[in-house]
Structure 1
């Protein structure tokens, strides 16, 4: 923060969506008293923010128009579109800083709310650390838009999601399918993509397009009726949570879609492993199965990995209701619905397959056939990244004691160590049990040398992937969490000069 006693104050002034009567009293006062009024303007366009506040700007006040050099991704700037905007924001901040340093009060006008998808934020980032700054909130455009449609957006426990239309189509469709009410901003040229995403999510029939909310030129209509060639940037889409009213039931407290009536012939229930993460590690068989089912059931982050398409219903739930989730899927299949239960990695390795068979022991599900589709497991993924550490006999253990006592885990660790098997450790640590991996290391060191090779794979297959090769003696257990899979080598496991790990096929 600047120490200059005479430095001016910087205001980010929210103006609301367009109707001057929606400007707050505080915003009106700040505008009327400011020494400098600043506002952004598009290429070859008048500033919309200034037009909203025009009657409040006094004669003779200093005005700073911050005109964008470019509004699309096409530019001759050596840094491209991002570089052109970065330079523009730096220059704009420098212009405002001159006034602030001279002791003038600067009010930067912002449509809607200054901190909601607004240009003000870029000035805030550059000036708030050096000058006293105050943000005057404004009415967001989507509030005026929902008022225009006069239909409730969300009720009670409904979830509202605000989405930029610039998201990739598949991501947009998934998020629309996974929420109750939604607001989609930043339309314009993105509108055709947004409309396709709404259709894929099954929300198109309940989506309303609102243009210039609260402005005299405001208009709104169902998205299905919009001419996509005439959609301005100052428009948005409202998807009411009411569109899902009466269409939901629950899995152990989690909201999901309902079942239909029982039928004479149950459908086959598929249990599908999605692999550790990358889409190209998903098997063609799994891809084909997911393209044919009408329901996907699973833990939220895994359901989120399934591309949304028209007609697909998604049923996400928490991480500790596996059997409830399995019963729900079996009930859907019993009623003739095409269902896939999804699981990360391979569904048969600490995944949903066992939970489905556990739930299927209930005689009411005796007529539901279950088929498990294999997938790449986390242990395979980490081993492949490391080299060939599981090229000989190996064992797999989960350190989670949620379904078995810790004494049983310790007994198995000792047996594996005594048998000199390579060991893959799933669920090595969590917030509720951060010390178990340290205890496991101590148990293993009772039977293994300190120089035993250890591989730690974190987020393997994802952008944040890391692979660490260390030893049992040097293993930093504090750095390990649920995102990791740990491979502890056998006595014969070795490391090549290039750092790859492998275990000979023969017993030494």
Structure 2
């Protein structure tokens, strides 16, 4: 029996209209559909494809055992997540080795800070794996501001809000154009770093980019606001132009 293929399908920033033609076709024709989600939640990737899956599709929610309950610096964090990804891989691999294709839904692009990468590296030596690229969440965010993120020779820096404050501030200071992801409870630290880098007043906060509940505002006007995890901060470059 030939092995099935595992497809890591990028869904883009959130608007189903922004799926690629190939992603749309794979999602609608899927027999086995896997997706990550926080326990007790529907899952952002799953919500993007609401109404697209066949009634007969068999769903496999992969629920994170931890998100913020254990600090990133705690050795247990990697241990718990590593075991989780191994278990998910075993399930998906069993399906593929039985000849079944499996669609793994991925927010944004699968190879851009996505959880699918942890399955990919474990599956690749054993079964066929294909990746369907997509529009990134940050692209949807800066487009929502109505202004280009880079001009001319601008250097774009992408940072995670989970980094320590000193590292954030140093990298921000050197950036021409800036994207900060994984905001959520890191918002106060990110704001302090932006202040230290002299970029706070130029920063925009984009929540749920391209989704029905999208919000775009200057970061300085959102002072004290509780931001969702699916928030992105951008600072536009002002580089060379004709």
TM-score for both structures, normalised by structure 1: 0.46
Contact (CA 8 Å) 2:165, 2:190: kept in 1 or not? yes
User: 1:392 matched to which residue of 2?
Assistant: none
Contact (CA 8 Å) 2:207, 2:214: kept in 1 or not? yes
Q: Are 1:147 and 2:171 counterparts?
A: no
SS across alignment from 2:59: strand
Q: Quote the offset at 1:63 in angstroms.
A: 1.0
CA distance in 2, matches of 1:38, 1:66: 7
The total of aligned residue pairs comes to 239
Structural RMSD (CA): 1.7
Contact (CA 8 Å) 2:165, 2:189: kept in 1 or not? yes
Contact (CA 8 Å) 2:153, 2:240: kept in 1 or not? no
SS across alignment from 1:8: coil
SS across alignment from 1:184: strand
Q: Which runs of 5+ in 2 are unaligned?
A: none
CA distance in 2, matches of 1:29, 1:129: 26
Q: Deviations over 1:250-287 (max 9, x none)?
A: xxxxxxxxxxxxxxxxxxxxxxxxxxxxxxxxxxxxxx
Among 210, 217, 231, the alignment partner of 1:221 is 217
Q: Deviations over 1:51-91 (max 9, x none)?
A: 1012221011111110111111439xx96222111111111
Among 162, 169, 174, the alignment partner of 2:170 is 174
CA distance in 1, matches of 2:11, 2:169: 31
TM-score for both structures, normalised by structure 2: 0.94
Contact (CA 8 Å) 2:13, 2:108: kept in 1 or not? yes
Among 187, 194, 201, the alignment partner of 1:191 is 187
CA distance in 2, matches of 1:158, 1:229: 30
CA distance in 2, matches of 1:26, 1:149: 28
Q: Which has the larger radius of gyration?
A: 1
Contact (CA 8 Å) 1:72, 1:81: kept in 2 or not? no
Equivalent positions of 1:229-244 (< 5 A) are 229-242=225-238
Q: Quote the offset at 1:34 in angstroms.
A: 2.5
Q: Quote the offset at 1:227 in angstroms.
A: 4.0
Among 34, 48, 55, the alignment partner of 1:38 is 34
Among 117, 121, 138, the alignment partner of 1:121 is 117
Equivalent positions of 1:102-501 (< 5 A) are 102-242=98-238
Q: Are 1:99 and 2:69 counterparts?
A: no
Q: Quote the offset at 1:35 in angstroms.
A: 2.3
Q: Are 1:28 and 2:24 counterparts?
A: yes
Q: Are 1:61 and 2:45 counterparts?
A: no
CA distance in 1, matches of 2:193, 2:161: 10
Q: Quote the offset at 1:33 in angstroms.
A: 2.2
Q: Which runs of 5+ in 1 are unaligned?
A: 247-508
CA distance in 1, matches of 2:87, 2:225: 34
CA distance in 1, matches of 2:19, 2:163: 30
Q: Quote the offset at 1:245 in angstroms.
A: 7.1
Q: Deviations over 1:139-168 (max 9, x none)?
A: 101111111100111011111111111111
Contact (CA 8 Å) 2:31, 2:56: kept in 1 or not? no
SS across alignment from 2:17: helix
Q: Deviations over 1:152-185 (max 9, x none)?
A: 1101111111111111111111111111101000
Q: Quote the offset at 1:43 in angstroms.
A: 2.2
Contact (CA 8 Å) 1:11, 1:133: kept in 2 or not? yes
Contact (CA 8 Å) 1:43, 1:71: kept in 2 or not? no
Q: Quote the offset at 1:14 in angstroms.
A: 0.3
Comparing both chains, which one has the higher relative contact order based on Cα–Cα distances under 8 Å and sequence gaps of 6 or more? 2
Q: Quote the offset at 1:125 in angstroms.
A: 1.1
Q: Quote the offset at 1:42 in angstroms.
A: 0.6
User: 1:70 matched to which residue of 2?
Assistant: 66
CA distance in 2, matches of 1:107, 1:45: 20
SS across alignment from 1:72: coil
